[in-house]
């Protein structure tokens, strides 16, 4: 699988998904459903953006995603 998996393209798809979440329209929901939708969009963006910032490698048959969680001044 390491020869066929394009990790750069995979990371780009996560970046694209993060951008899509930012541009996602609000469906006509109210009250508790609206709050749940907004919270889910925040989590979706966070997850996709985090993976979009990852570096990927295939190591000993494992897909390894590295995400730097240090504050900007420490990296």
| Arithmetic mean of pLDDT, 49-54 | 95
- Whether the predicted pLDDT of 57 surpasses 50: yes
Region 61-74: mean pLDDT is 90
Is 58 within 8 Å of 6 (Cβ atoms)?
A: no
Residues whose CB is less than 8 angstroms from the CB of residue 67 and which lie 6 or more positions away in sequence, other chains included:
50, 51, 53, 54
Exposure string of 49-73, with b = 16+ CB inside 10 Å and e = fewer, is: bebbbbebeeeeeeeeeeeeeeeee
- Tell me the pTM: 0.77
Mean pLDDT of all residues belonging to the chain: 90
Q: Quick one: which H or E segment has residue 64?
A: strand 62-66
Q: What is the pLDDT of residues 12-45, one digit of tens each?
A: 999 999 999 999 888 888 999 999 999 999 999 9
pLDDT at 2 over 50: no
Name residue 64's beta-bridge partners: 57
Which parts of 2-61 are beta strand (E)? 55-59
């Amino acid at each position: 699988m390491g020869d066929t998996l394009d990790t750069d393209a995979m990371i780009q798809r996560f970046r694209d998904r993060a951008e899509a979440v930012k541009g996602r329209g609000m469906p006509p929901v109210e009250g508790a459903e609206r709050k749940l939708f907004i919270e889910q969009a925040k989590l979706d963006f966070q997850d996709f953006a985090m993976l979009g910032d990852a570096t990927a490698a295939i190591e000993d048959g494992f897909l390894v995603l590295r995400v730097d969680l240090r504050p900007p001044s420490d990296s």
